[in-house]
Every structure is written in C-alpha cells, then in structure tokens.
Amino acid sequence: MSLDLVIRGGTIATASDVFRADVGIRDGRIVQIGEGLGQASQVIDATGRLVLPGGIDSHVHIAQPSGDGIRMADDFESGTRSALFGGNTTVLPFCLQGKGQSLRDALRGYHALATGNCYTDVSFHLIVSDPTPSVLGQELPALVMDGYTSFKVFMTYEGLRLNDAEILATMDTARRTGALVMVHCENEDAIRYLIGRHEAQGDVGPRAHATTRPVAAEREATHRAVSLAEIVDVPVVIVHVSNGAALGEIRAARGRGRKVVAETCPQYLMLTAADLDGMDWEGAKFVCSPPPRNAAEQEACWTGLEQGDFDLFSSDHCPFRYDDPAGKLNPKGRTSFAHVPNGIPGVETRLPILFSEGVSKGRIGLSRFVALTATNHARIYGLEKKGSIAVGMDADIAIWDAGAKRTIAHADLHDGADYSPYEGIEVTGWPETVIVGGRVMVRGGELVGAKGTGRYVPRALSSLARQAAV
Amino acid sequence: MSLDLVIRGGTIATASDVFRADVGIRDGRIVQIGEGLGQASQVIDATGRLVLPGGIDSHVHIAQPSGDGIRMADDFESGTRSALFGGNTTVLPFCLQGKGQSLRDALRGYHALATGNCYTDVSFHLIVSDPTPSVLGQELPALVMDGYTSFKVFMTYEGLRLNDAEILATMDTARRTGALVMVHCENEDAIRYLIGRHEAQGDVGPRAHATTRPVAAEREATHRAVSLAEIVDVPVVIVHVSNGAALGEIRAARGRGRKVVAETCPQYLMLTAADLDGMDWEGAKFVCSPPPRNAAEQEACWTGLEQGDFDLFSSDHCPFRYDDPAGKLNPKGRTSFAHVPNGIPGVETRLPILFSEGVSKGRIGLSRFVALTATNHARIYGLEKKGSIAVGMDADIAIWDAGAKRTIAHADLHDGADYSPYEGIEVTGWPETVIVGGRVMVRGGELVGAKGTGRYVPRALSSLARQAAV
Amino acid sequence: MSLDLVIRGGTIATASDVFRADVGIRDGRIVQIGEGLGQASQVIDATGRLVLPGGIDSHVHIAQPSGDGIRMADDFESGTRSALFGGNTTVLPFCLQGKGQSLRDALRGYHALATGNCYTDVSFHLIVSDPTPSVLGQELPALVMDGYTSFKVFMTYEGLRLNDAEILATMDTARRTGALVMVHCENEDAIRYLIGRHEAQGDVGPRAHATTRPVAAEREATHRAVSLAEIVDVPVVIVHVSNGAALGEIRAARGRGRKVVAETCPQYLMLTAADLDGMDWEGAKFVCSPPPRNAAEQEACWTGLEQGDFDLFSSDHCPFRYDDPAGKLNPKGRTSFAHVPNGIPGVETRLPILFSEGVSKGRIGLSRFVALTATNHARIYGLEKKGSIAVGMDADIAIWDAGAKRTIAHADLHDGADYSPYEGIEVTGWPETVIVGGRVMVRGGELVGAKGTGRYVPRALSSLARQAAV
Amino acid sequence: MSLDLVIRGGTIATASDVFRADVGIRDGRIVQIGEGLGQASQVIDATGRLVLPGGIDSHVHIAQPSGDGIRMADDFESGTRSALFGGNTTVLPFCLQGKGQSLRDALRGYHALATGNCYTDVSFHLIVSDPTPSVLGQELPALVMDGYTSFKVFMTYEGLRLNDAEILATMDTARRTGALVMVHCENEDAIRYLIGRHEAQGDVGPRAHATTRPVAAEREATHRAVSLAEIVDVPVVIVHVSNGAALGEIRAARGRGRKVVAETCPQYLMLTAADLDGMDWEGAKFVCSPPPRNAAEQEACWTGLEQGDFDLFSSDHCPFRYDDPAGKLNPKGRTSFAHVPNGIPGVETRLPILFSEGVSKGRIGLSRFVALTATNHARIYGLEKKGSIAVGMDADIAIWDAGAKRTIAHADLHDGADYSPYEGIEVTGWPETVIVGGRVMVRGGELVGAKGTGRYVPRALSSLARQAAV
C-alpha cells in the first residue's frame, strides 16, 4: 500500500501499550503500524522520540461572551494555534446559548467564527442556559442527531445556572437522546451568600474569590449533580474537580453503581488559593472557578490521577487579558473580586505540565497520560476516529521529546492572553512535531501548517450515554 | 418542706440514671428526690412502676392548614388529649406562616386556638415559608427574644419549600439570633420530576408516593442541608430521617465537626413502602413524607437508635381522616397519589412503640429511651425546666407499667383521626398515670385532669445554637 | 431523715442534668437531693461551686511490673492519693497475669498491696497474658462471678501480646460469662519491623518511638480487634484511641451495628510526636503507646469527644521516673528508644485538663464532661453504685471551683513520678473538695482523709456485655 | 516484509481501542497491523470475528500438592489444554514451597512437570510458606533476578499461612527486589474459631464451609494486608476478592494513595453460598476459599468490575475430582466440611463467562474485557511481550465468535476434573481459534497444535513494583 507519510522508529504509546513501530498514514488516516513499513511521500524520523495521539482538550472556552461586555482573549485562530503548539489536535469549545436564544442560532455564530480559522479540529459542547420545552423537546434531540452529543449545565453563575428542575429536565432529554451531560458543580446560592458576607466586611481582594467558593460549596453541588443523575438514571460528567471531598462524592456514587466521569485540570495540581493573594490585584491572574485550593487538595487530586479516579485531564482554558481594559479586568473589576472574570488560560501548557509533573516524575505511566489527555476524551465524547494511535484512526499525532527541558514563559506561548498562570515553571518533555489529519502543522517548534486545516467534527454518542439511553 | 404530692417507691429513670426513690412535688415543680420523703397532700404509690419524665414530642402538627381546603384531623383539644394519653406532657406543634403573612399574625391564630384547650403544655416552632427581608431582619429576631427559638424550613412541598438562597438567609438569621433551624430534607424538584414520569405512565396508586420520593431524593437534600448549615456555620436539625443513606450523610457531617441533630420516627421503624400497596386506596393510610422504606432501612434506623446517632424520636403526628370527604382523602385525592394529604397520626403511640420494641425487647436501655423521648427534646429546643426527673424541673411525669400488654387499636386512642397506621400491633409497656405541672391528668387510663391545664411555654435558646451564636 | 452530711447550694451536674440543689448523705450514700434539705452533722457550703460525681479513672496502672526490672513510680498509696487530688474517687488499675501464673495468684498480690493503702476506691481489670484452657475455662468464669468483670488483652508488647487465636478464645470466654474485653490496639509485628529498620539506620532517639508506631499500625489493629469481636459477637472496648483513622474504624464498626466502646486520653489532645524530640533524652518523658500524633489528629480526637464518638476519657496513668536509675530510664534505656519504658503519669491532671480545655473553652458541656469522666466508666464497667449524683449512689463527690486558675507543675502534684508531661499548662477549673463514700478526703486543697478510706469494689457485669451474653 | 501468518479482516480489540485491521505475524511475533497487509504463508479469515489478545490467567493451580495426600485433578498437560480451549495463551500457576524446602528445589519439580507438556505458555508465582532468613535474603532475590518476580503469601490454611512478622519480612524482600506480593486474605484464626463452634454443634455439611469463612474474616485480613503493605511501603495484590466489604477496604487504601491491585473470579459473580447446600455432599463441588457469598455481594463484585475497581479477572482454577477417592473428597472429607479440599475448576470457563455475562449483556465494554483478562495481567506481572495486539508483542491471539451460543457442560471441557461448577449455564460468545506464539493451536474447536508448544516465560518486574522498589 502506498503511504503519504511514515513516522519511523518512534516509541508509540496508546492507553494500553507502549511499543516501537513505524506509523503509516494515507488520506489523513493511520493505515498501518508495523516494523519496516514501506516507502512514503514523506518520512519523519522519530527515533528516540515518543509518538503519541494528539491531545484532545475537551474543556476549552473560545470566543465566548462572558457578560459585562468583557471579551475572551482568544478567538478560534489564536485559541487553536495555542492548542496546537501545546500538542493538541482537537479541542472541544462550548457553544453558549443566550437567554431566549435558539441553540441552532447560537451554533451558527460559533461555526461562522470557527470556519476557516482553526489549526486543530474542533467540535462543540452545548451550554444549555435556557431549557425551554421547545429547546428540550425539539431542538436538542435534533442537534444530538446532528452530532452535538454533549450538553453542559451550570450550577453557578447568575444568568447561567439552572435550578434543579431545569437540570433534571435537561438530563431527561439526555436520557431520551443518549447525549451526555457535563455539570459545573458549585452552589451559586452559597457563593452569593458568602460574597454578601465578605463584601459587607469590605473584604474585596482577589483572595476572597477563593474564600467565597469553599470546598463545601463544590462538594454540595457535586453530590447534588450525581444524585440528580441518579434520579434520572443517566451518566454524568463532573468537570474540573478541585479537591478530595468532591472527588469523594464521585467515588461514593460509583460505589452505588452510578456512571460518573470525573475531570480535573492543571490549576488544581499547580496552584493554590495563596496565589490569589498577589499584590496590586496580581492575584486576579489566578481567578478561576472552582478556585485553586491548598497543598492537601492538590495531593488529593494527584492521588485521584494516580488511582484512576479521574478520567479526564483538561485545561478549562478560559483566557482573559490582565491589562487590557477591554479584557480581563474592567475598571469595575478592580473594585471587587466579585467582578473579576472567572477563568485562566492553559490550553498550551496542559500537556507539558502533566507530562512533566506526572510522567517525568514517575507519578503516572505513559499509557495513563495518553488516556487522560486524549483517548478518554475521544471515547467519552464520541470522537470515534480520534484519541489513539490505531489503524483506522485520524492521523492526529504529537511527537514528543521526552527529555526536552523548558521554562514556561508566556512570551513563548501562542494564545491571546497577556500572561500565563504557570510562568516560570520548569518542565521536562515537550511536543516538537504536531500532525493534524496527516498534515504536519508544527515541526521543530515552528508553525508549518495552514490556518483552516482544522475542521469541525460532528460526534457520535458517548459510549457511556449509549448504554444508558432508552 | 411541705409537699403537694409525693410519688412513692417507684423506679426513676433519667437520661443518666435509673434508681429507686420518692419524688416530692410542690407548686408544680420537683423539689425533692430521696428516700423516705415526708408527708404530702397527695400520695401516689409507684411501687413496681417506672417514673419517667413526661414525653416531649417536638414534632407534631395540630390544626395546621394543608392546602386544597383539607383540614387536619386534630385541633389542640384532641391533639393534646391524645398526646397526654400516650404519656406526653409537652408537645411542640408548628406555626405555619402563610405566603405574605406575618409570623406574629400566624402565631396569634395558633395561640387563639390553643389557649384554654390544651391537656399538655405546648410551645411552637415557626415554619418559615416566606422569608422576606422584614421577616428575617425584624420579625424573627423579635420572636426569638420572645421564646420562639426554632425555625423549620422545607425543601419539599410546592408553596412551602424554600430555595437554597432562602434557606441560607433563614439560617443566617438563626446564626445572628441563636435560633435553631430544622429542615425537612427531600428534593422537591426530583420528586416533581418522578411524579411526572409516573403520572405519564398512569401509575397513580398510593404506592407511587413512595416510588417518587426515593432515598436518593432524601439523601441529596440531607447532604445539601448539612452543607448549607456548614456554609453559614450553624447547627441544624434534620427531622424524620427515614433511611441509612441519609443518616450516613449526617454521620459524615459530624465527622467534619458539624453539629447536626438527627430525628427519626415510629413510621421508619414499623412501616414499609409495601404498606402503601393497600387495596382500594387503603394504602393511602400510610402516606407520609419521607415515605416508609424497607426492612433494611428499618434496620439502619434501629442501628442509628442503638448507636446514639439519633438524638430525637418524635411522632411527626400529622393526622388526616381516611373516610371523611373533608378529611384525609378528598375526591381529588382518590384520583392520584399526588393528591393524598401527606401525614399520619401517631402522637399517642410513639412512646409505647419505642418502649415496647426498644426497651422491652432489649435493643435500647431505659436511659436512652428517656433521652430520645424527653430529655434531648428539652435540651435541644430550650425547654430548660423540662425533660428530666430532677430537682427544680417542672413536675411533668409519666408513670409506666413496664409489663402492661396492649394491642394498639384506634378505638382506644384519643386523637381526631379515624384510623391508626399501627392498628393491631402488640406492645408491652404503657403509661398509666400522667402528671402535668404537678397535676394528675390521667390516672389508671382515665382522664382526671381538666382541659386547659396545659399552658404555652416560651423557650430559651437551644444549648446547641447558643454555642454557635455570634 | 437524719443526715450525716449535706452539701448545700451547689450546682449539681449529672450526665443528663445541671440543676441547683442540696445533696443529703447518710451512711456513705446519697439519700436525698432537694431544695432546703434538713439538718446534718456536717454541712459543706457549695454556693457558687459545681457538685460533680467523683471522677472514675478506668485506665490506670499502679504497682505493675513492666519487665527489665523497671519499677512503676506509683504504689497504691501514691497512685490513689494523686488520683484523689485530681478529683477522682475510684480508679481501676490492672492486675497483670504473669506467664504461667494463675490470675487468682496475681490478684492476691495486688490486693495485698492495695489493702489499707488506698485513698480512693479501687477495682481491678484482669490483663490476660497467658490464656491457657484452664484460665479461660475455669479461672476467668469464676473471677467474673466474683466481680472481676473485665479483661484486657494486648496486641502489642513482646511477652504480653496475644495472637488472634488467643484473643478469640478470650473473647469467647467473655461471650460465655458476660465479661467485657478491652483491647490495646497496635500491631506488634509491624512495630518490630519498623524498629528493625530504624535501628539498622542508627535512628534510636525517643522520636523514633513515634515513627515506629505509626497510625497505620494502630488503625490495622483497631480494625482487627473490632472484627474479632464481630466474629465472636461480643462488645469490645478500644482503649486509648490516638487518631482519626482508628476512630474511623470504630465508627464504621458501629455502622455495622457492633457495640464498640471508645476511649481517648489527655495525651492525644495535648501532646504531639514533636514533644518526643526533646534534647538529651528529654523526649523520653513523653514516650507512651500509642504515641502522641500531630495537630490534625488532636483535632480528630476533639471532634470525637464533641460528637460523642468517645465514651470514655481516661488517663492511662502509667508513671515511670525520669531520673531514677531504678525508674523510667535504666542505663539500657539511654541507648535506644526501644528500651524506654512506655507510659506517662496523668491520673491527677486528667480531669482539670478536660475541664479546662473542654468545658471552660466551650467545646463540650458539663453533662458530657461528667459522662466522659465518671458516669460512662461506671455503666460500662459495672460500678452500679457509682458515677452519678443520684439517690442511692455512693457519696463519691468532687466539688469544683470552675473559675480557679492553676498552672500545672509537678511540684504541686501527688504522684510518685518526678515530672509531668503537662508541666506549665494553664488550666481553668480545679476540684477543691473531694468526698469518698461520704467522707471528706480533700478540703481546700489539703488532705483531710485517712489512707485506707478507699475500699476495693467488686463489679457487676457491664450493661453492654450483659446484653450480649448468652 | 514477508509474513508467516496473516489474520484478515477481523475486529481487533485492545484495552484501549476497537478497530478493524489485519494482523501480520512473523517469527511468533506481531509485526504489522494494518489495512490490506501483504501475503503470508498462512491466512486466517477473521471477517465477522473478534481478534483478541489470548487470555492470561494469572491465578491457576496445577499439579500442586494440597495436603492429606489429595492430588489436584490437573497436571500441566490437562491444565494448559483446558486453558487453551478457554481462549488462554498464558497461565501463571504457583510453585509451592514446602516447609524446609528451598524454592529452587521446588521450582525444579514444577519445571520438570511442565517442560514439554504445555499447550500454553506458563510462568510461575512463588508461594512463600517458609520465609527463613536465607530464603528471604538470598534465594528470593536471586529468583527475582531470574524472572520469578511475584510472591504469594497466605493468611489462611494451617501449614501455609504466614504470621504478620513473616508477611512483613516477605514484603520487605519485595521492597528490596522489586517483586510483587500477592495475598490470600482470610483470617485463619477466626476461621478456626468458627469451625470449632460449628463442629461442636455438629454442623459439618459443606454449607458450613461458607458460614465459617464469613465476610468479616476476609474484610479483616484484607485491611491487614493493605496495612502491612503500607507499613513496608510496597504495592500489593489482593487476590480473589469475594465481596463489597473487602473491596471497600481496597478502595479506602487507594484513597490513602496506596497501590493496591484487586482481583476477582467467576465464582464470585456466578455462585452463592446456597450452592453449597447441595444434597448428599453435592455442595462440596462448590467449596472454594473465600466461599461464594450472596446476590448482594455478587452485585458488589459486578459494580467493582464495571467501575474499574478490579484490575484482574482470574479463575483461581484449583481442580479436584468429586468422585475419585484419590481426588476431591477422600473418605475423611465425607465426614466434615473442614476436610473438603478447597478449590474448584474454572480455567476453561473464565473467559466465556465474563464475555457472556459482561460484554454480551452490556455490563462492560470489549476493551475492559481485554484489560481484565489479558492486558492487566501482563502489565502487573511483568509479561512485557504479552497481553495485547500490538506490534512487537508475542502472537498470542484468540479469535472469538461473539455470537456463538453454548451451554457449559463438563463433558465438553478439557480439564482433569469430573464436573464443572458452572454446568448448564448458557453463554454467548466463545473462542474458536487460539494462537500461541504464532502457532494455531485450536481451530474450529479442534486441537491442531502440539503439546509442548507452550514455553516457560521468565518475567520482568511488575511496572507497579518497579516504581516502588528502592
């Protein structure tokens, strides 16, 4: 068989196996894996390198309006470019339904922004913020059929959070359609209550962001989310788990036989609430929700990664500029923590951080790394041709230099924000070549592929949800 | 010292001790306990009998409107008469705030109904159903000062349930005033969702009442209630716990250092959901919320009683007539379980059931019985002069024949309902003499005291809440 | 009724109630409690004072041989004198069976040492170190009948520890006789293993005592002890619980319906492993087993006290001199932590420490204090006439000045050791008058009673064990 | 590249991926996986079939003496033939050290029996029954270097069980060498105690085997095993977990960050203690340890499989004949359950049972099946070239007909026993072709390969143990 591209001599890792072989690619797909594969138009020598499935980041926010007229720091061009340089080949941003808006309509907007502008493949989760009967009864079922097979609901953020009845109704639509529901678990009312107490005391600096979103508020919402899913009898994804107590609720639900997917993110391994203490509002650079916790909770998250309690490791990339008045901190923002936009950049640093802190330091094996950063995302979210180095899969591949040493500096990154919360962290291991659909996009740290190479990918039902669907 | 009444030769039990002594009473108070007390105007020979503090039932509903024009089967006369015959000397019914109503106004109504009509002492919990800023900020603090030191909030029942923000605000008022918050823990939205599914399938018999209020809905709400109390930092009472999973949430909260009071009721020891299966709507006689569960959950509740996990054993007496169209089952009620009034009678049978099944059968000791049925109610709800046989306490006393054998029959009871859910159950142990404030009210099973002997008792702050109050 | 002694006007506390009354005593017993009691030969004015049941310390070691020729620092005279000054009226030391020795024989020795030398009442637990068939089959059943109704077994200490088969056999004897088994839970083999590793590394200072007896070794043994009791189906007492993990095993066993009594001690509230770091072997002053842990485990023990998880608060008084070559540290002891005698003094400071840190600081109420230090000890160990202020009880009473401020100094204590591990700790609350069997023994901090006033008290079966006995 | 064998058109499953491709084999190894692979000497058409890694059964007993002169029903010929027909390509039997015997010596015996007689590859775990200093210090380290990289220790069985000190010493050898320790967790003393009570009551039928080995005895030993491993700081394998409580101990240990591997077996999914009730000693056919439990524990084991709590699904094949006097039940055996040899056959039925009950019924996916039955065994036990369909792996492959329906009948099986505990169970899915090292051994249900094809395989260190090794 004639091949377009052969990657020779690398060490391939899947979620199951690590082995040395060539990879043969034709028409954008992996068609052969073996020793001594035949000739090809293009050859990459991967001797001494790791050949991994391209990262899938199933939790990123791009070009999403966030209220108060604040713009996100990344559009699809900068966001996917940053993802690409970080070793990713697919990202799953969110399509946010506005109040009163049809999801079809919202999707049209995101597709318009994405089309022709992406460096990686993209697919969309649907944020359901206005679950009217027609949205639940007609629009969502049709969208699931069209390949938008996951919904996200929020238990926090005014204007976005759903009440329990709305969550149940959305989960019921998932039950009937086989879609998968993701939940942001924090109790909005509890947070509002605590914000009120803090503001009444004049405690308005960024650190209060962490204090007013305590572990108890996340633990409560997590237990509620898994319980509502139990009532409806659907699987559920708990995104960005930040601490051991919330993870404990997930473990307990699994012990009751519930299908619960758990995700954590780099911020819960690398940052703590103390980072929000920065002088002169520097702490605002670390404002995200749930907030970073403390060393003990970081350790609990590591234990969860090591023990396989977490299925997904995502970035929750949600970039805002720190200095631009139109960006992260509008003037109002400077007046109280309650107005700092929630979210930090991280799509480019996710993989190097986990590789370095996890694989290089021996806390997790290479197969677990691949599962956490690519394979599980594909299986859970219905990307049937992605997430592994296997025959028939899309040729989405990242070639890593496991020994490369880098110091993270925002100056070297490719996103649209003006800082990185991980500035100065030293990592061992970096993706040097990134291939999307068989096309080399990054080589030796240089962009060699074209904007627009990344395509939109409709998705099948999650294997999880399929089992549960009526 | 001259005495009005001496009870001679009985075996006294307190929550701490069991011993033989005389009890000397003057001016309605216990003034001496000892061997060979002096003469008195009146003497009761209690040789071979148990002398226990009169039961305090801190969870009863009397003369409370319940929507749809359905009247409760007991007014204060019949309700307290029934309580009295069951060995109780104090009951704590609820004052229900209507929407838009001031609590003062609501209280006036209940006091008007109660004054002059009671056989036992009474005090009121306040059901907060409309927590407006003025209710929370002015009315409740004043009422707490006046001796209404406990609030109840509902997480279920349309028109009654509070959302989390309202619960937090009410708890915050408790935090500032030292009042104690009681919570009915079931997730209303989950129940509504399940009712919708059941009704859509035409499953409308009484048994569906249990199916649509599953353990998960109670466990969820229980965890939420203890978490909201944790956020506000107040103690909390979880009323009528029906199962091991909800109790497990309480145990976990205590392990985190939270002050949580737990209550269970006879229905969760003696009934199961299978009782709701009755032919021809007979099952409606057992409709209460949370619903009775199964044998394993009964056992879990017993374990909780034996191990000291439960602080309170109450009746949740909430009587409706079965046959009267103006009573329990209005015509609409006959059409779907969703319209059966929630609640069953039980104030008269609470003590004999626990005595018989617990003490006589050796599952709990006599001191635990006293604590669960009297002392703890007094301490937790601020009845400083009640709940024990000790010098200085009100002379509220029940003299029991531990060996008396009775078969429960509604014909022998004194409430206003037309059935007992415990009909036919055989018990060993019955209160034969009941004394309220030093006055003999029941003697040898006959009413000898006068209506109106029972007084209204304002309450101090709970010892629990006092510690937590700012 | 003529009275020998009246204590007037104090505030009495029982495990159930706190109230103001006089206490009337005749023939060594409490015969009346009331307002305005009549005249008596002797009157104590307790106005403004607390009248509490005398402390019962159910876990003390007196005059017990401990191997290597080391003598304990207290005989019955100094041990009970120290206990008395600390507000105790009864102590329960251990009778240690030597290998090959009959328990009768061992008891004769202890009785000989105790008779005529005690300031408080005493009763003996039996340490079973050689459970031969004749000991289990004949001797123990007869001794239970004679009032020695509790056995202690060790899972640690060479020469003392029993293997599982022996523990099961001893528990089976308890099952047949109604005796209660106490277990010292630490895994000896695990400790031996760790000592080997530490000694191999030359790590021989006192701190290694804590490192080689980690929480895991106690948690393991605790779970094993409750499991063996589950296999045999007997209640069990877990003595000196030092940490939250071991307590968690006890909570879990109770959740399975098992009757488990839990005890903790002052050292687990007040000391940490860091105290063993003392220079020049000063750390040896804090060597006890299990060792003190850390701040988080102290907090877990406090939570256990507040939540009612602990039934007993004892001293585990086990005094050795620090400086006397014949005492705590023999020359060999100076060479390795493994040779430091295990145990610290504390019978005199137990009550003031819990009163001050618990009651005065508002962590526990007065009734809980009484339960933890007197009532529960009496009920659990079958001292039917002790542990409360109630009619018919022995007149064992301590009158406390709740506001007295003292700094603990060994110079002021009355034991036979030469230091206190609590030196310099400030406490609020101290017992100023102590009455044993109606005789005033300490008054205003001075010894006014005679040696030999304390008697030996045979015990009934534990109420716990009685229920379980066949 | 010229190929010896190509498997065309099948659906390949790994622990990570399911995809359609050809598999190319040369020199006994998989060298290519791809679409349209070139010609080969031999071609198997696998269209419509599943191409799975050959099963690895890491827990089988073959030709192992079991005391009392009872012979096991399988030698290496019959045992590996039965395994082969059940879809396995590698089995890991045990080499049992006799008391006083050197392990080298014991190994020589097993190798002698195995060499030339195997149909599948084999490798040996070492049962350490006599951990003398020379065994631990010299022999085991040398054997680990030689590829015997796992030890098994028993907490039950007289003559085999180690005490805690011996287990700790053996684990310490594992710590120093990187070997992995497997533990049979049941508390021997507890079982002996219960056997004594049952025999004293004349309760000697097979059902008493289950009653005398209760869940508590397994839960206790499981917690002890993970705790001892925690003390030494090594990973540990808990074999044949039979119930939710023991699994709960494993989950708790993982929550503490411990590396614990968990295994379960078909008997804990398919049998219950009621099966031991058989008339006329038929129940003896189901005697294994731990014993089968009940429906709730079966469900707990299923939940553990679904949730990923179990890493390994093995047979614990341990065959004895039922009827042969020289076999399962010697005359003594007929007199009491305590003499029935412990163990049941199952190496041939393991895979079809899990495939049918798990995959065909939708409880687990195909990748989980592969992980549980092959991949995880290889990774955990250091079989670096086995357990997956990947380039470079040994060509150990089973081709399954997922739709084949069979009724299990011992007459169709190939082991040396005279019954199957699963007789009559209907399964969907059966391995029709089995390839060992590139050689077709079974084709269309017929044996076509030669005895002796199976080789002995030395093993690398477990990836788990490697991380932990000093």
Tokens of A246: 């919330």
The Cα D440–Cα D295 span in angstroms is 40
Residues D31 and D1 sit within 8 Å (Cβ to Cβ): yes
Would C7 be classed as within a structural domain?
Answer: no
Q: How confident is the model at residue D1 (pLDDT cuts 50, 70, 90)?
A: confident
Q: D213 to chain A, minimum CA–CA distance in Å?
A: 24
The Cα C433–Cα C442 span in angstroms is 5
Q: Is the pLDDT of residue B67 over 70?
A: no
Q: Return the partners of chain B (3 or more C-beta pairs < 8 Å).
A: A, C
Name the domain count of chain D. 1
User: Cα separations (Å) of C42 from B32, C181, C440, D170, D436?
Assistant: 20, 42, 10, 70, 98
Residues C75 and C415 sit within 8 Å (Cβ to Cβ): no
Q: Is the pLDDT of residue C329 over 60?
A: no
pLDDT tens string B192-232:
999 999 999 999 999 999 999 999 999 999 999 999 999 99
Average of per-residue pLDDT across A282-308: 96
Look at C375 and B16 and tell me if their CB atoms are within 8 Å. Answer: yes
- Dihedral angle at the C-alpha atoms of D33, D34, D36, D41, nearest 10 degrees? -10
Q: Which residue has the tokens 């690409």?
A: A84
pLDDT at A335: 77
The Cα A307–Cα D251 span in angstroms is 10
pLDDT tens string C253-301:
999 999 999 999 999 999 999 999 987 788 999 999 999 999 999 999 9
Would D416 be classed as within a structural domain?
Answer: no
Q: Is the pLDDT of residue A223 over 50?
A: yes
Q: How confident is the model at residue B336 (pLDDT cuts 50, 70, 90)?
A: confident
Look at B228 and A219 and tell me if their CB atoms are within 8 Å. Answer: no
Share of chain B above pLDDT 90, in %: 90
The Cα A87–Cα A350 span in angstroms is 9
Q: By the CB < 8 Å criterion, does D142 face chain C? A: no
Look at A19 and D375 and tell me if their CB atoms are within 8 Å. Answer: no
Q: By the CB < 8 Å criterion, does D190 face chain C? A: yes
Look at C19 and B254 and tell me if their CB atoms are within 8 Å. Answer: no
Mean pLDDT (chain A) is 95
Taking alpha carbons only, the member of C65, C156, C177 closest to residue C110 is C65
pLDDT at B469: 37
pLDDT at B379: 97
Q: By the CB < 8 Å criterion, does C229 face chain D? A: no
Average of per-residue pLDDT across C119-127: 98
Q: Is the pLDDT of residue C328 over 70?
A: no
* Chain B hits for C20, Cβ within 8 Å: 391-392
List the single residue in D21, D248, D367 with the smallest CB-CB distance to A391: D21
User: Cα separations (Å) of C176 from B365, B470, C140, C167, C179?
Assistant: 21, 53, 10, 14, 8
Alpha helices in A320-386 (DSSP H): 350-354, 366-370, 376-380
* Chain A hits for B220, Cβ within 8 Å: 223-224, 227-228
The Cα D67–Cα D96 span in angstroms is 12
Q: Is the pLDDT of residue A192 over 80?
A: yes
* Backbone φ and ψ of B236, nearest 5°: -150, 145
Look at C19 and B308 and tell me if their CB atoms are within 8 Å. Answer: no
* Chain B hits for A227, Cβ within 8 Å: 187, 190, 216-217, 219-220, 223
pLDDT at A68: 66
* Chain C hits for B248, Cβ within 8 Å: 255
The Cα D142–Cα D126 span in angstroms is 13
Q: Per DSSP, what are the bridge partners of residue B93? A: B60
Q: A254 to chain D, minimum CA–CA distance in Å?
A: 7
- Dihedral angle at the C-alpha atoms of B208, B214, B218, B219, nearest 10 degrees? 180
The Cα C335–Cα C275 span in angstroms is 19
3-state secondary structure of B138: helix
- The number of beta carbons lying within 10 Å of the beta carbon of residue D170 is 26
Q: Is the pLDDT of residue C468 over 50?
A: no
What is the amino acid identity at position A335?
T
Q: How confident is the model at residue C1 (pLDDT cuts 50, 70, 90)?
A: confident
The Cα C105–Cα D27 span in angstroms is 79
Would A458 be classed as within a structural domain?
Answer: no
ipTM for the assembly: 0.96
Q: By the CB < 8 Å criterion, does D360 face chain A? A: no
Q: How confident is the model at residue B333 (pLDDT cuts 50, 70, 90)?
A: low
Taking alpha carbons only, the member of D265, D303, D268 closest to residue D58 is D265
Q: Return the partners of chain A (3 or more C-beta pairs < 8 Å).
A: B, D
3-state secondary structure of A53: strand
pLDDT tens string D282-330:
899 999 999 999 999 999 999 999 999 999 999 999 999 988 655 455 5
Q: A451 to chain D, minimum CA–CA distance in Å?
A: 30
Preceding omega of D290 cis (within 30 degrees of 0): yes
Q: Is the pLDDT of residue B191 over 70?
A: yes
3-state secondary structure of A395: coil
List the single residue in B17, B33, B463 with the smallest CB-CB distance to C34: B33
pLDDT at C463: 87
Would C322 be classed as within a structural domain?
Answer: yes
Interface test with A, best of D25, D27, D391, D394 (most A CBs within 10 A): D391
* Chain C hits for D232, Cβ within 8 Å: 193
Taking alpha carbons only, the member of A216, A185, A195 closest to residue A289 is A185
Would A45 be classed as within a structural domain?
Answer: no
pLDDT at A60: 98
Look at D216 and C231 and tell me if their CB atoms are within 8 Å. Answer: yes
Q: A299 to chain D, minimum CA–CA distance in Å?
A: 9
Closest-approach residue (CA) in chain D for C230: D216
Q: How confident is the model at residue C323 (pLDDT cuts 50, 70, 90)?
A: confident
pLDDT at A468: 40
Chain A residues 230-259 with a CB less than 8 Å from chain D: 248, 251, 254-255, 257
pLDDT at B329: 52
Bridge pairing between strands B426-436 and B397-407: antiparallel
User: Cα separations (Å) of D195 from B226, D185, D205, D213?
Assistant: 46, 17, 11, 9
pLDDT at D465: 72
Q: Is the pLDDT of residue B332 over 60?
A: no
- The number of beta carbons lying within 10 Å of the beta carbon of residue B108 is 12
List the single residue in B31, B257, B388 with the smallest CB-CB distance to C34: B31
Q: Is the pLDDT of residue D149 over 80?
A: yes
Q: Return the partners of chain C (3 or more C-beta pairs < 8 Å).
A: B, D
Look at D32 and A31 and tell me if their CB atoms are within 8 Å. Answer: no
Q: Return the partners of chain D (3 or more C-beta pairs < 8 Å).
A: A, C
Look at D16 and A20 and tell me if their CB atoms are within 8 Å. Answer: no
Q: How confident is the model at residue D466 (pLDDT cuts 50, 70, 90)?
A: low
Burial class (CB in 10 A: 0-12, 13-18, 19+), B456: middle
Share of chain A above pLDDT 90, in %: 90
What's the domain range around B246?
55-367
Check which CATH number belongs to the domain holding B143 and give it: 3.20.20.140
Would D310 be classed as within a structural domain?
Answer: yes
Q: How confident is the model at residue D276 (pLDDT cuts 50, 70, 90)?
A: very high
Would A245 be classed as within a structural domain?
Answer: yes
Taking alpha carbons only, the member of D154, D209, D464 closest to residue D336 is D209
Q: How confident is the model at residue A466 (pLDDT cuts 50, 70, 90)?
A: low
* Chain C hits for B32, Cβ within 8 Å: 32-35, 37
The Cα A99–Cα B245 span in angstroms is 38
The Cα A259–Cα A253 span in angstroms is 8
* Chain C hits for B467, Cβ within 8 Å: 362
* Backbone φ and ψ of A408, nearest 5°: -65, 130
Would D63 be classed as within a structural domain?
Answer: yes
- Inter-chain Cβ pairs, chain C and chain D, closer than 8 A: 74
Look at A163 and B214 and tell me if their CB atoms are within 8 Å. Answer: no
DSSP class per residue in C284-347? GGG--SSPP--HHHHHHHHHHHHTT---EE---B----SS-TTSS--GGGGG-GGGSPP-B--T
Q: C408 to chain D, minimum CA–CA distance in Å?
A: 37
Q: How many helices (H) and strands (E) does chain A have?
A: 15, 18
Share of chain D above pLDDT 70, in %: 96
Q: D90 to chain C, minimum CA–CA distance in Å?
A: 36
Q: How confident is the model at residue A341 (pLDDT cuts 50, 70, 90)?
A: confident
pLDDT tens string B78-112:
999 999 999 999 999 999 999 999 999 999 999 99
Q: By the CB < 8 Å criterion, does B168 face chain A? A: yes
Q: Per DSSP, what are the bridge partners of residue D312? A: D263
Q: By the CB < 8 Å criterion, does B219 face chain A? A: yes
Look at B223 and A223 and tell me if their CB atoms are within 8 Å. Answer: yes
* Chain C hits for B33, Cβ within 8 Å: 32-34, 391
Look at B388 and C17 and tell me if their CB atoms are within 8 Å. Answer: yes
* Backbone φ and ψ of D70, nearest 5°: -80, 135
pLDDT at D329: 52
Q: By the CB < 8 Å criterion, does C27 face chain B? A: no
Average of per-residue pLDDT across C427-454: 97
